[in-house]
Amino acid sequence: MVDLYKLQDPTKQYPRPKFKRQPQNVPGLAKNMTPRPDHGEESYRGSGRLPNRKALVTGGDSGIGRAAAIAFAREGADVVINYLPSEEADAKEVIALIEKEGRKAFAIPGDISNEAFCKRLIAQAHKKLGGLDILALVAGKQHAVEKIANISTAQMEQTYRVNVFGLFWLCKAALPLMPPGGSIITTASIQATHPSSSLLDYAPTKAAILAFTRALARQVAEDGIRVNCVAPGPVWTPLQTSGGQPDKKIPAFGSETPMKRPGQPVEMAPLYVLLASQESSYVTGEIYGATGGLEIS
């Protein structure tokens, strides 16, 4: 287990390329990855920063969402996770980890590209938790295609539905239920400002998330709700090994960063915790990068 709290060289803290190719169907499962990603299962230590908060995390079964869900629970929050039904195996592990902290954990699987489901998800999460203070929007769709000629209209539309429309529907339903002090955290990407040629649909959705975050933050500041964004660089998650990258790029994944390795999901978690907590009370409309040195701006 990596000791996250020990002074050490961050470039050597986690595995570096080369990785072995390990294609999976979409959505991939974290449990099938080698090396196993660090979502903080053993490594993240809480310190009471989110006492009795009520949080919904989309994409909470795996990757960055799982790391946020575990960290939120360790900081004292009850957590609902949303994910796709085929990800039940990953989701079960997260539910067990949250319950182990003595916090309440609820699973609400379903497809956020569907407006009616987004409304149901927010209503059910609010009911199960007895409130809604934190909305961490981490779910996303990424499928690399090398040439524009091979991107179907259906893929273009679905990437926007999951990454942008879902965000809109979930925020629209949640805001009337959130109290002053509530926090919405979106998830963009280094792709928003440094797009890869094979992510012609995905990269613009992440740029849209930056603008959406800033606009919504300005709109709801006077209600005491903060809206911020985490923008990761390359992170070792099933999104990438299930077609987010062309398979041939997996062995060198993360080598393009100044740190020469991908990030691990747990390395994103402190940003979600900070932005969710009252400690960041004067922070809204901001984009926080964690990119191994690629720089979001």
* Catalytic positions: 202
Taking CB under 5 A as the binding criterion, the range among 25-33, 109-117, 242-250, 260-268 that sits at the site for Mg ion is 25-33
For residues 43 and 266, the answer to whether their CB atoms sit within 8 Å is yes
| Shortest Cβ 106–ligand NAD spacing (Å) | 15
DSSP line for the chain: ---TTS---GGGSS--S-------PSSP-GGG-SSPP--STTT----SSSTT-EEEEETTTSHHHHHHHHHHHHTT-EEEEE--GGGHHHHHHHHHHHHHTT--EEE----TTSHHHHHHHHHHHHHHHTS--EEEE--------S-GGG--HHHHHHHHIIIIIHHHHHHHHHGGGPPTT-EEEEE--GGGTS--TT-TTHHHHHHHHHHHHHHHHHHHGGGT-EEEEEEE-SB-SHHIIIIIS-GGGGGGTTTTSTTSS-B-GGGTHHHHHHHHSGGGTT--S-EEEESTT----
| Shortest Cβ 179–ligand NAD spacing (Å) | 25
82 binds Mg ion (CB under 5 A): no
- Among 46, 57, 61, 75, the residue binding Mg ion under the rule CB under 5 A is 61
- Among 87, 93, 133, 256, the residue binding Mg ion under the rule CB under 5 A is 87
Q: Residue 102 — φ and ψ, nearest 5°? A: 80, 15
Two tokens, residue 91: 């989701």
Closest C-alpha among 171, 163, 168 to residue 203: 163
| Shortest Cβ 272–ligand NAD spacing (Å) | 11
| Shortest Cβ 279–Mg ion spacing (Å) | 29
**Residue 240 interacts with, from ligand NAD, Mg ion, none (CB under 5-8 Å by kind):** ligand NAD
Q: Which is nearer to ligand NAD, 65 or 182 (CB)?
A: 65
Q: Which is nearer to ligand NAD, 52 or 159 (CB)?
A: 159
Q: Which is nearer to Mg ion, 76 or 140 (CB)?
A: 140
Residue 201-240 contact track with Mg ion, rule CB under 5 A, x = bound: ----------------------------------------
Q: Which is nearer to Mg ion, 61 or 93 (CB)?
A: 61
**Residue 37 interacts with, from ligand NAD, Mg ion, none (CB under 5-8 Å by kind):** none
**Residue 287 interacts with, from Mg ion, ligand NAD, none (CB under 5-8 Å by kind):** none
Q: Which is nearer to Mg ion, 182 or 234 (CB)?
A: 234
Q: Which is nearer to ligand NAD, 121 or 175 (CB)?
A: 121
Two tokens, residue 273: 């915790």
Instruction: Give CA–CA dist 43/107, Å, rounded.
Output: 23
- Among 43, 58, 62, 240, the residue binding Mg ion under the rule CB under 5 A is 62
Point out which residues bind ligand NAD (CB under 6 A).
27, 58-59, 61-65, 83-84, 87, 111-113, 138-142, 162, 187, 189, 232, 234-235, 237-240
Residue nearest to ligand NAD (CB): 63
Binding site for Mg ion (CB under 5 A): 27, 61-62, 87
